[in-house]
Amino acid sequence: MPISSINPATGEILETFVADDSTAIEKKIECARERFLAWRETAMAERARLLHRAAAVLREDVERFARAMTLEMGKPIVQSRAEVEKCAWVCSYYAEHAADILEKEILPSDGSRSYARFDPLGVVLAVMPWNFPFWQVFRFAAPALMAGNTGLLKHASNVPRCALLIEEVFTTAGFPDGCFQTLLIPSSSVPAVLEHPHVAAATLTGSEQAGSQVAGGAGAHLKKTVLELGGSDPFIVLADADIDKAAATAATARMINTGQSCIAAKRFIVVEDIAESFLERFVSAMAGMCVGDPLDEETEVGAMAREDLLLELDSQLHMSVELGARVLTGGSRLDGPGAFYPPTVVAGVRKGMPLYDQETFGPVAAVITVRNAEEAVRVANDSEFGLGASLWTRDLDRAEILAAHIESGSVFINGLVKSDPRLPFGGIKKSGYGRELSHYGIKEFVNIKTVWIA
C-alpha cells in the first residue's frame, strides 16, 4: 500500500512512497540487532561525538528540515525552525551528559563491593506522531542511542518525508548503518514488528487508543514500554494572578502548533472574581493571531494537519454549544482550500460537554469558571488525563501546596507547560506512563543491573 504525503494547507499530494514489505522489514530488524551487538560496545565518547555531529547536521540544514515539517503537517515555518533547533539541543544535552548519568552507581551491601550498572536493552521500536514530527523522535532517539540501544522508527503515515529526513540526519552525522532506521509501514504492521524476538522494547507518543494497542501487544510478550498519550491540560488562573501576563501566555499555550499538542493548555479554569477581565484579554489575544499560509513568516496559526481532525474538533465545539456553551470568537472553519480553523474561545463550558470531558486537538479553548482555588483544583483533576498543568498566582508558597494536589506529570507555575531536555516529561492516568528526557528518560531503556562482589 502506498503512503502519501499531503499538504494540509492546499490539499495537494506532495509525494507518494512505497511501503516496506515483509522482506524489507525483516532485513531492517536484523540490521538493527546486528548493529546493537557492536554499538553497545562503542565507547561513550564516540557515541557523544556522533550525537554532537547530529546536532550540527540539524543546524546546518535547518531550512530544509523546517520546510518539510511545514509542508507535511501545516506547522508555521517559524515554529518548524524552532523545532529543529530544539532537536539539536536534545542531541547536545545527551552528548554532554549521558556518560555521567549512566556511570555505574556504587551501592552499600554485605559484599566487598556492589554497584548498579546501566546496560542497553537492544532494539527499541518508536511509534511516533505527526504533530511534532522531528522533536518527538529526537527526544527518544538521542538518549536511546547514547545508552547503547538501536532504534526503529514507525512514524505517522502523513509525515513520511520527515521520517526519512530524520534517518538521513543520523546517517549524515556518521552513525553506523543500523543504528537508526525508518520503517515505512502502516499501523497494521506494528504488531508484527513488536512481537519480533529482536525487538526488545517500544515507546509510543500518540492517542490513547494507539497506546493501549501497543502496550497490549508488548505486554503479551513481556516487553518494556513507555507511553506519552493525550492530554487535556488545565490552565488555572486564580484571583491574585497577573491577568495580563496570564491571558497573553494562555493564548500562546493554546495555539502553539495550531493547538495540536498534547501539552497545549485546553481547559482554562478561571476564578469568577477575575473571569471577566481575563476573558476580555484572552479573547483579544486569540482573535488577534495571524492565520494563514504556514510558509509565510508572519503566520502564527497554520493549517490543521488533516481534514478529519478539523471535522472532529468542529463537532466537539458545536455539540458543546448545543448544550449551552457560548462562542466568544472564532467557531467555524475558514473559507477556501486547506484545513484552516480560527483561534476560538468558548465560555460557559461545564461537565457533560465534549469540550470539558474530551481532549480537543486544535485551536479551540474551553473556559470554565469556578468559585475558588479549591474548586479549580477539583475541576483540573476531573479528567481522564494527567499530562501537564499551568497554575497562575502571585502567592508562590500557596502555589506549591496546590501543585502537590494537581494530578499531572508536571505543573508549571506562572508559565506554560513545555518539554525541556533537563526535566522529566510524561503523564499519569490516560496520559500514559514512564518518563522521557532528563536522567529519568535515558534510564527507561536500560537494564539496571546489580553487580555484587564477595
* Catalytic residue annotation: 228, 262
Q: Which helix (H) or strand (E) holds 424?
A: none
Q: Please tell me whether residue 345 adopts helix, strand or coil conformation.
A: strand
Q: Please tell me whether residue 427 adopts helix, strand or coil conformation.
A: coil
Q: Return the C-alpha cell found at 272.
A: 469568577
Residue 309's nearest CA partner among 207, 210, 388 is 207
**Integer Cα distance of 373 and 152 in angstroms:** 45
Residue 392's nearest CA partner among 215, 158, 235, 282 is 235
**Integer Cα distance of 274 and 241 in angstroms:** 9
Residue pair 124/151 in contact (Cβ under 8 Å)? The answer is yes
Largest CA distance in the chain: 75
Q: Return the C-alpha cell found at 51.
A: 550525537
Residue 291's nearest CA partner among 256, 340, 356 is 340
Residue pair 135/83 in contact (Cβ under 8 Å)? The answer is yes
- How deeply is 248 buried, as exposed, middle or buried, from its count of CB atoms within 10 A (0-12, 13-18, 19+)? middle
Q: Give every CB contact of residue 17 below 8 A, 6+ residues apart in sequence.
A: 2, 3, 4, 5, 160, 184
